[in-house]
Structure 1
């Protein structure tokens, strides 16, 4: 089957599964692969073989002195084909110590999701030889079935718009070889741009492409096809495994998206780790290394009840609290401090937690975001962080307790407590600000209609 016939079949299948009208966006890099993909789609559209909207996007990484030239080439080709074209720049921190290839890929996908129209299908030009390189890299890294599945044909990423909108990605050329792509380009006299970094074998993929794949294909001419078939079988097995794992995960989930420690421990170790990996994946959190996951059971799940174990990787932590496993970003915590607030002063809270403002006069309606103060003359109002041995009596409580006991009773995790603002008048706690909501003290109830209006009354308000 020719490249064009194969692509026509892929687009037809895509149209059957995708709501009309279909908008295809080609991730265009100016290289031969994406140029052939764009030109072949243009052929299908203008030969009336298939009907869809077609556009192209170029992502400028700023990593090459030739990037501006590549962008202009893409714009020129799209103008000649009368294809709508757009481009965007991303930043890759080459000094960060992280892999440049991985950073560039992540930044590229994030930008494509950001600027591609909602519901559109972004087509990527990876082909059969790219799949071979991917599987060989995964073998080198010691991957399991998920990694050995290689690149999937399709996946979706949610836009950050808050409306559950998604951008769909599709790789229609995974069965097409690099040789077929070059043959198509020659037949249609296409002109493309070469990325000079492709010759740098310090990059693992380039080393495989230049020195390893040709040797394997010379010895076994159909090696890339065989690897692609193995990747497909691994993907099918992984899909079956995911079905069972999803069922197990659902039975372990708590309403706050934590996992039951007790139920986790009832699983065998391999299933336990498989469930944790899927749990992380559903939250778009990268799974830690196998060595770190191996610590999970002994050092955290089976730790003493009064222990506060932490397992950390990258910017994430596993924590345990109230028989539940949490995964959190490494928390920023406010250092102990005290700040006096004078009306009508607005006080910004540390770590961008929001701001509070003290207003003298008419008391506000009772609200989660306001705290009434019946007499400002009793003593100064201060916002305090730290000091949980102090006693506090909430409005509806019959007696006072140390704050740390209330926090435990209210099931507030230890890592969140340092960021709770204590509202104090003189030496008395009159309220707390917990996750942006006030908890009023017993002596600080809202003034009733029978109470006299004090000129020194006031309201402390919060906003993010």
Structure 2
């Protein structure tokens, strides 16, 4: 993040250019989240000023939430503005509805971010500024947030795990007054959201009722509190470094050791759990919920199946190892799929691909499948299996338990059947009656989860 001490905020152009150059590179694709308000209009204007010299690809996105009666006019304004600047604009029209115990502002933000995830860009540019940062700090204080919450908004962060698109706030160390001065100096036009004057919203009450009084007493409060967010950001970074050390000592193949978590001091256990949840970019639980998660983890017995939902994540525990799973990654059992000799068979409901190859001295005997109906199914219960010819045929349930597969995984493994006979189980092997004899060429089946988008058609 640019250091506000080393940049004069009176020159917004130099400040913006400094922040931009520190982050982006020639050829980067930047999309401005354009609301039509003065902040995002100034951000777009500044960006177009430098885009050609820095060889940047600039576009804009506008989300029409459908909350205000004027939302259609705002969309039209944004389209007209982008047309005048020759900037491509995508408009997304939504119908936001209130949900119990959630603010409309939070629901709208969540909807916007879902749209941002599908934008083809390196950065989504947000127009939050120094006043927004200070307001967020105070609101977080009133909510009893911890160090990470009080460090407020980062200048740059990943939008979602495993992706490359980032959120970038290049105006974050610039006061609102300088943004307004810039807009007037350059004769810019913008729209005004009437809800910004509604003091029933906490942020507006703070902005219009409390902060003007604070400014009378302490005119420099913005710089002072902004500096506090930077100090808190440094403290949060140090806590993350401590959590990384604890993670190295407690993670086993990307799963958290329950015993290792229990051996940590309570404060370090909470810090580690917050860190691991934050890495998955979900809304962090409040302190009460976090304490409840730790309490349950500290009290579960080895044979219990632990399950706790946090935002879009499920926390599971099996055989002393804790997993953090996206809720939508636990699919339902699949309906039978007929295999007709394809080299690749996509199983969309399991988000994976079965690959079939021919190899010498290994795999399934193709002769046993010839002329028979071969299907891929999920486990339904009662199946019996004999992957080891030296051991008797046993229940598949028992075999999966011995393989230490978590209960939520067992029912979603793809199984290959020849008519009604179980032939192959992903991760386990081939039934003795269908194994190839030595010196012959067999059919090898391999399961590749999460590779749907990497398959070519054969």
1:186 aligned residue? 184
After superposition, residues 278-317 of structure 1 pair within 5 angstroms as 278-317=275-314
Q: Is the 8 A contact 1:369 1:438 kept in 2?
A: no
CA distance in 2, matches of 1:237, 1:122: 26
What is the SS of the residue equivalent to 1:385? coil
Alpha-carbon spacing, 1:184–1:6, altered in 2? closer, same or farther (3 Å): closer
What is the SS of the residue equivalent to 1:7? helix
TM-score where L is the length of structure 1: 0.77
Of residues 197, 202, 205 in structure 2, which corresponds to 1:204?
A: 202
Q: Which consecutive residues of structure 1, in runs of 5 or more, have no partner in the other structure?
A: 358-362, 452-457
Q: Which consecutive residues of structure 2, in runs of 5 or more, have no partner in the other structure?
A: 1-6, 453-458
2:266 aligned residue? 269
Q: Is the 8 A contact 2:332 2:349 kept in 1?
A: no
Q: Does 1:430 pair with 2:404?
A: no
CA distance in 2, matches of 1:285, 1:313: 8
Q: Does 1:419 pair with 2:409?
A: no
Q: Which moved more, 1:267-276 or 1:411-420?
A: 411-420
Q: Is the 8 A contact 1:55 1:83 kept in 2?
A: no
CA distance in 2, matches of 1:379, 1:286: 47
1:394 aligned residue? 387
Q: Is the 8 A contact 1:23 1:54 kept in 2?
A: yes
Alpha-carbon spacing, 1:448–1:271, altered in 2? closer, same or farther (3 Å): same
Deviations 1:311-332 (A, max 9, x none): 2334433222122111224545
Q: Which moved more, 1:245-254 or 1:70-79?
A: 70-79
Q: Does 1:104 pair with 2:108?
A: yes
After superposition, residues 5-20 of structure 1 pair within 5 angstroms as 5-20=11-26
CA distance in 1, matches of 2:408, 2:372: 33
2:42 aligned residue? 36
Q: Greater CA radius of gyration, 1 or 2?
A: 1
State the 1:175 CA deviation: 3.2
What is the SS of the residue equivalent to 1:57? strand
Alpha-carbon spacing, 1:285–1:192, altered in 2? closer, same or farther (3 Å): closer
Of residues 59, 63, 77 in structure 1, which corresponds to 2:62?
A: 59
1:174 aligned residue? 172
| RMSD (Å), alpha carbons | 4.2
Alpha-carbon spacing, 1:414–1:326, altered in 2? closer, same or farther (3 Å): same
Q: Does 1:71 pair with 2:75?
A: yes
1:138 aligned residue? 140
TM-score where L is the length of structure 2: 0.78
Of residues 130, 133, 142 in structure 2, which corresponds to 1:128?
A: 130
State the 1:155 CA deviation: 2.2
State the 1:289 CA deviation: 3.2
What is the SS of the residue equivalent to 2:118? helix
State the 1:103 CA deviation: 3.0
Q: Does 1:236 pair with 2:239?
A: no
CA distance in 2, matches of 1:111, 1:406: 44
CA distance in 2, matches of 1:51, 1:376: 63
Alpha-carbon spacing, 1:386–1:192, altered in 2? closer, same or farther (3 Å): same
Alpha-carbon spacing, 1:449–1:102, altered in 2? closer, same or farther (3 Å): same
1:454 aligned residue? none
State the 1:219 CA deviation: 3.2
Alpha-carbon spacing, 1:83–1:233, altered in 2? closer, same or farther (3 Å): farther
2:433 aligned residue? 443
Alpha-carbon spacing, 1:260–1:356, altered in 2? closer, same or farther (3 Å): closer
CA distance in 1, matches of 2:55, 2:378: 61
Alpha-carbon spacing, 1:397–1:289, altered in 2? closer, same or farther (3 Å): farther
Alpha-carbon spacing, 1:109–1:370, altered in 2? closer, same or farther (3 Å): farther
Q: Does 1:407 pair with 2:411?
A: no
Alpha-carbon spacing, 1:356–1:18, altered in 2? closer, same or farther (3 Å): closer
CA distance in 1, matches of 2:277, 2:283: 7
Q: Is the 8 A contact 1:395 1:441 kept in 2?
A: yes
